Amino acid sequence: MTVPAGSAGPPLRIVIADDQASVREGLVLLLGGLPGIEVAGAAADGEQALELVAEHEPDAILLDLHMPVLDGIGAIRRLTVEHPGVAIVVLTTYADDSSVLDALHAGARSYLTKDADRTDIARALHAAAGGLTVIDPRAHATLLAATAAKPSPSETAPTGTASAGTAPAAPPPDGLTQREVEILALIARGLTNSEIAAQLFLSSHTIKTHINRIFAKTGSRDRAAAIGYAHRHNIG
């Protein structure tokens, strides 16, 4: 569950990574001054961020995408593999579809732009640590536009192609992983989260995390929208 700032309980421990000293120090002051958040460390690049995460084992990390030594996408990929329990929240100036999709595909749980205020950032960090996904309105609009602009497979398939039985399998749309496609198919069949978890032998928390990423990648606001997406892409 998301722990609102100021509530009882241990504070949310975070690491901040941004190559601009003024931004980094400002975030430390802004977020560190909020009840319910403890800034465990601040890094100037992706490598430093990984070192601080290994040292402090925070609940979440707030990081920029464009950093020296190791950029944000590279850091996200390594964090996902080396520290899967750390919730990753992107805070960047970029809201183009490539940046948003690359970050989400790499394993970021939430995506914010730098016009977000400290309350929004704190809320996103708590939500991400609780397994939820928060997408900045600008980034979400970009994601929806990118998804809507992509023609369906039937529109792009050239005439005279091999039959379905002989053609190679097309990669999943919009960067969905095979596991996410599998879960989306079960959603389209009407299964609940607990039923999906039981069928795939996964925890309910893991299923919820996958579903949040499916929603983000497909631009779905809710389960009904995700089912509509599945039907349009012949998933399920």
Number of structural domains the chain divides into: 2
Strand ordering across the sheet containing 87-92: 37-43, 12-17, 60-63, 87-92, 110-113
Burial of 203 (0-12, 13-18, 19+ CB in 10 A): exposed
* Mean pLDDT, range 70-88, rounded to an integer: 94
Whether 121 and 112 have beta carbons less than 8 Å apart is answered as yes
Q: Distance between CA 197 and CA 207 in Å, rounded?
A: 6
Are 181 and 137 within one domain?
Answer: no
- Same domain for 137 and 205, yes or no, is no
Helices 193-200, 204-218: inter-axial angle, 10-degree rounding: 110
Q: Where is mean pLDDT largest: 24-33, 146-155, 202-211?
A: 24-33
119 and 24 part of one domain: yes
164 assigned to some structural domain: no
Checking if the pLDDT of 234 tops 70, the result is yes
What does the pLDDT average to over 132-143?
80
84 and 191 belong to one structural domain: no
* pLDDT per residue as tens digits for the range 145-201: 665 655 544 444 444 444 344 444 567 888 888 888 889 989 888 888 888 888 888
Higher pLDDT, 31 or 192: 31
The domain boundary residue, chosen from 89, 124, 142: 142
For residues 51 and 181, the model is more confident at 51
In a shared domain, residues 105 and 219: no
Quote the domain boundaries for residue 215. 173-236
pTM beyond 0.95: the answer is no
Handedness of CA 127, 189, 181, 227 (dihedral sign): negative
